[in-house]
Chain A
Amino acid sequence: MRILVAAPYPPAPDEAAMEAVRAVQRLVGEGNEVVVVSPLPSAAPRHGPLAGLRGALALAAQARRFDALHLQVGRHMLFRPEVAQFRRILDSAALALALRRWRHTSADLGDLSEVPGGGGGLSGRIVWGSIKELSVWSDPVRSRLSTLAGVPASRIRVSPRSDARAETPSHPPRPPAPVPELPPWNVTSPGDWEGLMTQVRSRAVLDRAALEGIPPGQSPPN
């Protein structure tokens, strides 16, 4: 199958980006031809808007070129919580129409924490209703999505995030003056390396003091 994966992609801090890598590995391993598009410049071969009307147009334009679309839903994808409610609903309707043009659609919503706006409300209901396979990472998340967006729990599959991802830490860890008469070099053997370095330093101090007009015995500032 020829599959388009739409997702945040590395290098990115998102859990969804890491999960998308695992999904692509799995799909390629199963013999599929996979193309990745990400909402921002990344390691994906393509990038472009994946939210709002522009995202809907972009997804609609690709629908006949692939056999399936997999959405690893994360930031900068699908929803634009920052716009007015009317606009959000219009966006969602456009996205739903675009998604319905695809032969097969699936979406992994993770734990919902990276879904813009949380994925609930009427916008969520419209978009999720147009996707054939929905999955989340745990039962509690399934219940929450069902409550927030009114999607029947029976339509949501629980698919724990990949083990490989779980092993990988996702968060940053814990975080012109007279030249003074300089003393002659006294060291005769390279064995006295410390002695040699001491002489370098003391001659440099004298030289600097002379250049800066500091009287003998007084230390120059650092």
Chain B
Amino acid sequence: MPERERTAPRIAFVPPRYGDEVVGGSEAVMREAAMGLAERGWDVEVLTTCAWDHYTWRNHYPPGTTRVDGLTLRRFPVEPPAIEQRDALGRRILLGLPMSYDDQCRWINATLRVPDLFQYLLAHAGEYRAVVLSPYLSWLTVACLEIAPERTILMPCLHDEVYSHLDLFRSALSKPAGVWFLSEPEHELAHRLADLPEHVVTGAGVSIPTAYDPDRFRKRYGLERPFVLFAGRREPGKGWDRLLEGFELAVERHSLPLDLVSIGAAEPIIPPSIAGRVRDLGFVEEADRNDAFAAAEAYLQPSSNESFSRTLMEAWLAGTPVIASGQGEVVRWHCERARGGLVYQDDFELAQCLLLVAERPALVRELAANGRAYVIDNYPWSRVLDRMERSLIELGADGPLR
């Protein structure tokens, strides 16, 4: 057969959730990488669940196969979580109590199960040149790693958190043929946790918007006062509670002239003492989201559980200064490398960072320019996809002809 007629190599991406309305860092990277590789001529399939909500894992989408985003999407129903067992074992994990490997397995099997997907991949693994699993903290990843480890790539999206130290996940890191890391600190953490197979720091790509309309965003949502922005899950694991404490300190003690606006799915808990200064907009469309970054005086990243932090990049791209928690190695690494973000260790430092934004806006906008240059140099999707393709080809999956 002439080489030109060769069929494109098929690869499978296996995220726990998939869709443009799904909020989550690893899900977003998986989706955009899948779409990007499909655009480059790879035959990409996505094997995922029918779930939209990562709390309940309720089946939301119909099962079956469709074509979306230029790829084949196969959805499989989720077996509901065994909530009592999941929560009881989960509490022990969070408390740092010793837990046998058996109990770790009981816990992960109680989080959710997708036997139909597992069976499908088991029967069809031979049709894929590579299977990409992500994130590490997912039943799908732990289970599907056993199917075809010799052609599996794990994109763990690791954080230095109690879960990543469980034997269950440490052993998972050594099983695949290759690992894709999103940042150097994540890579270093993985070395501390396990003996790694072949691996590469691919980074994650960020789409560069062609234009922003901050005024439209302010008008649409009736935002008349200057504000700082938080985008993501408003939950303790993402630093939301601590962020509110630091913000309250700056407001009450230093009369900070900035409000806090948050966007993301679900409803956050906001203490009554600052309810008048915090405005939650809920889930917003992507265009609005980009404009929100541009309209903000600064973007706040309080989470120490990040393996890449796309929102940091999105803020910098919009020319918006970043204030990030130094407790997280990854965001601190980005801020230091880019010399583009303000880093704080406690509520008092956060308050000072907020004051700096309010008092010296021109100076911090220049910092943001450093950040924007950093993103454009390192994380356009074209470069990230180049690294991913190189890794796939080294794994034995010939690239498509272009």
Contacts and interface: CB of A to CB of B under 8 A. Distances in A.
B194 A173 contact: yes
Contacts of A17: 146
Contacts of B171: 169-173
B149 A11 contact: no
B122 A207 contact: no
Contacts of B146: 10-11, 17-18, 21, 168
Contact of A11 (B116, B143, B174, B351): B143
B309 interface: no
A24 B145 CA distance: 15
Interface in A1-50: 10-13, 17-18, 21, 24-25, 28-29, 36, 40-45
B170 to A, nearest CB: 5
Interface centre among A36, A43, A173 (most CB of B within 10 A): A43
A210 B193 CA distance: 42
Contacts of B78: none
Contact of A187 (B108, B352, B363): B363
A101 B339 CA distance: 73
Q: How large is the interface on B (under 10, 10 to 19, 20 to 34, 35 or more residues)?
A: 35 or more
A64 interface: no
A13 B101 contact: yes
A80 B328 CA distance: 48
A218 interface: no
A100 interface: no
Interface residues of A, number: 47
Interface in A59-107: none
A154 interface: no
A3 to B, nearest CB: 13
Given A200-B356, A208-B348, A167 B149 contact: yes
B91 interface: no
B366 to A, nearest CB: 4
Contacts of B50: none
Nearest to B252: A176
Contacts of A29: 126
Interface string A166-183: 011111111100010010
A179 B254 contact: yes
A189 B367 CA distance: 9
Secondary structure dominating the interface of A: loop
Contacts of B173: 173
B402 interface: no
Contacts of B336: 193
Contacts of B344: 200, 204
A204 B126 CA distance: 58
B363 A11 contact: no
A190 interface: yes
Contacts of B370: 190, 193
Interface centre among A36, A173, A189 (most CB of B within 10 A): A173
A211 interface: yes
A25 B122 contact: yes
A191 B366 CA distance: 9
A42 B171 CA distance: 18
B113 A200 contact: no
Contacts of A174: 195
A11 B105 contact: yes
A204 B110 contact: no
A40 B104 CA distance: 13
Contact of B175 (A169, A188, A207): A169
Contact of B105 (A13, A185, A190): A13
Given A11-B105, A179-B254, A45 B116 contact: yes
A43 B363 contact: no
Contacts of B94: none
Contacts of A12: 105
A197 B342 contact: yes
A188 B363 contact: yes
A40 B109 contact: yes
Contact of B115 (A45, A196, A208): A45
A29 B126 CA distance: 10
A196 B145 CA distance: 46
B150 A211 contact: no
Interface string A95-135: 00000000000000000000000000000000000000000
A204 B346 contact: yes
Given A11-B142, A21-B146, A43 B366 contact: no
A144 interface: no
A18 B145 CA distance: 10
Interface of A: 10-13, 17-18, 21, 24-25, 28-29, 36, 40-45, 164, 167-175, 179, 182, 185, 187-191, 193, 196-197, 200-201, 203-205, 207-208, 211
Given A11-B139, A193-B336, 16 more contacts: A11-B142, A11-B143, A13-B105, A25-B125, A40-B106, A43-B113, A167-B149, A168-B146, A182-B352, A189-B363, A190-B339, A190-B370, A196-B367, A203-B355, A204-B352, A207-B348
26 contacts: A10-B145, A11-B109, A11-B139, A13-B101, A21-B146, A25-B147, A41-B110, A41-B113, A43-B143, A45-B115, A45-B119, A168-B149, A168-B175, A171-B171, A172-B101, A173-B171, A173-B174, A173-B193, A187-B363, A190-B370, A200-B353, A200-B356, A201-B345, A201-B352, A203-B355, A211-B253
